Amino acid sequence: MALLDIQDLTVDYGRVRALAGISLAVREGEVATVLGANGAGKSTLLRAIVGGARASAGRLTFAGEDITRLATHARLGRGIVLVPEGRRILISMTIEENLQLGAHLRRDGEAVRREIGLIYERFPNLGQRRHMRASCLSGGEQQMLAIGRAMLARPRLMMLDEPSLGLSPLFVERLFDLIGELNRDGLTILLVEQNTGKALAAADSGTVLELGRVLMSGEPAKLAADPALQAAYLGAAAPAPAAATS
Ligand SMILES: Nc1ncnc2c1ncn2[C@@H]1O[C@H](COP(=O)(O)OP(=O)(O)OP(=O)(O)O)[C@@H](O)[C@H]1O
Ligand SMILES: [Mg+2]
């Protein structure tokens, strides 16, 4: 059964139609990837799933429940979490405070403390600086903090918006290792990426958006072999990371 089922989703920003009738399903336990050029509507799709952008038409079903009209905090309560583009950690707060924010809906403080400890084990750079401001972290470390914070919400579906953007090759490797580990632990992941090669290699299914519509979808190997897609996104002309490496 699909954990997330999106039917004919349309999103408008005033007179700009960002998504024009998208249908897409994410199965429980898989890594699904959404690809597409700048402006294709990838971030809008993720925003619509968490409730940050309103659906003007269509329906979102999560774990069998119609969530189309649910508020963002209610969707978070159902287990939907987004690590947005640009990470959005709070750089004036400490690393530990950032992690605790991820758990703000939880009442099981003991378990939260244990899970924060596990995150520090996994990312010693975060543990050593737990009481320092997050501004002291590199871009790659900030991305790990953003993912750690999302993990503390104990999500059923984690969505990542271009998590590899601006990261050094070493951190890109660590990021994709982490995505694989979280998925093996049972987490369903919806991954938006410009790094199409890596995303297709990590994913169980893929969808390519173009100007707010689904251009193609299916098995990652098939998408990777598609001549039109190769020409558009997978060739030597793939866009270089925009931000500085970290
Ligand atoms: N807040 C907004 N107000 C008006 N138009 C917007 C807004 N956010 C996005 N758009 C428009 O909606 C369309 C889809 O944008 P979106 O950010 O979803 O694309 P994207 O695929 O995530 O692009 P990128 O790869 O650059 O992140 C674009 O035409 C964009 O200009
Ligand atoms: Mg985007």
Ligand 1 neighbourhood includes 139 CB (under 6 angstroms): no
Domain boundaries, the chain: 2-79+155-234, 93-153
- Give residue 32 CA to ligand 1 midpoint distance, Å: 20
Ligand 1 contact via 13 beta carbon (within 6 Å): yes
Digit-coded pLDDT (tens) for 161-182: 999 998 999 999 999 999 999 9
Q: Is the CB of 42 under 6 A from ligand 1?
A: yes
Say yes or no to pLDDT of 241 above 90. Answer: no
Pairing of strands 57-62, 2-13: antiparallel
CA of 104 to the centre of ligand 2 (A): 26
User: pTM higher than 0.85 for the full model?
Assistant: yes
**Would the CA dihedral through 116, 99, 161, 125 be positive or negative?**
negative
Q: Beta 188-192 vs 205-210: how paired, if at all?
A: unpaired
Query: For 4-24, how does the pLDDT look when each residue is reduced to its tens digit (9 = 90+)?
Result: 999 999 999 999 999 999 999
CB-ligand 1 contact for 39 (6 Å cutoff): yes
| CATH superfamily ID and name for 2-79+155-234 | P-loop containing nucleotide triphosphate hydrolases (3.40.50.300)
Taking all residues of the chain, what is their mean pLDDT, rounded to a whole number?
Answer: 92
Nearest Cα neighbor of 77 from 138, 189, 157 is 157
Average pLDDT (116-145) is 93
Nearest-atom number in ligand 1 for the CA of 85 is 27
Return d(Cα 205, Cα 190) in angstroms, integer. 10
Radius of gyration (C-alpha) of the chain in whole angstroms: 18
pLDDT tens per residue across span 71-89: 999 999 999 999 998 877 8
Mutate to test the pocket of ligand 1, among 15, 44, 160, 193 (most ligand atoms within 8 A of CB): 44
Has residue 235 got a pLDDT over 80? no
> Tens digits of per-residue pLDDT, 179-202?
999 999 999 999 999 889 999 999
Instruction: Give the Å distance between the CA of 49 and the centre of ligand 1.
Output: 15
Smallest CA separation from ligand 1 atom 29, residue: 39
- Specify the pLDDT at position 163: 95
CA–CA separation, 51 vs 108, rounded Å? Answer: 26
Segment 26-32 shows an average pLDDT of 98
Q: Which of 71-75, 86-90, 133-137, 213-217 shows the lowest per-residue confidence on average (mean pLDDT)?
A: 86-90
Tell me the percentage of the chain whose pLDDT exceeds 90. 81
> Residue 15: CB within 6 Å of ligand 1?
no
Q: Is 36 in the pocket of ligand 1 (CB under 6 A)?
A: yes
pLDDT the model gives residue 194: 87
> Closest Cα to atom 14, ligand 1: which residue?
41
Q: What is the pLDDT of residue 234?
A: 58
Q: Which of 39-48, 135-144, 236-245 has the highest mean pLDDT?
A: 39-48
Q: How far apart are CA 158 and CA 84, in angstroms?
A: 11
pLDDT exceeds 50 at position 238: no
Question: Which is nearest to 215 in space by CA: 205, 224, 203, 228?
Answer: 228
Ligand 1 contact via 166 beta carbon (within 6 Å): no
> Between helices 109-122 and 95-102, what is the axis angle to 10°?
130
How many angstroms separate the alpha carbon of residue 193 from the centre of ligand 2?
Answer: 9
Q: Which atom of ligand 1 is nearest to the CA of 43?
A: 22
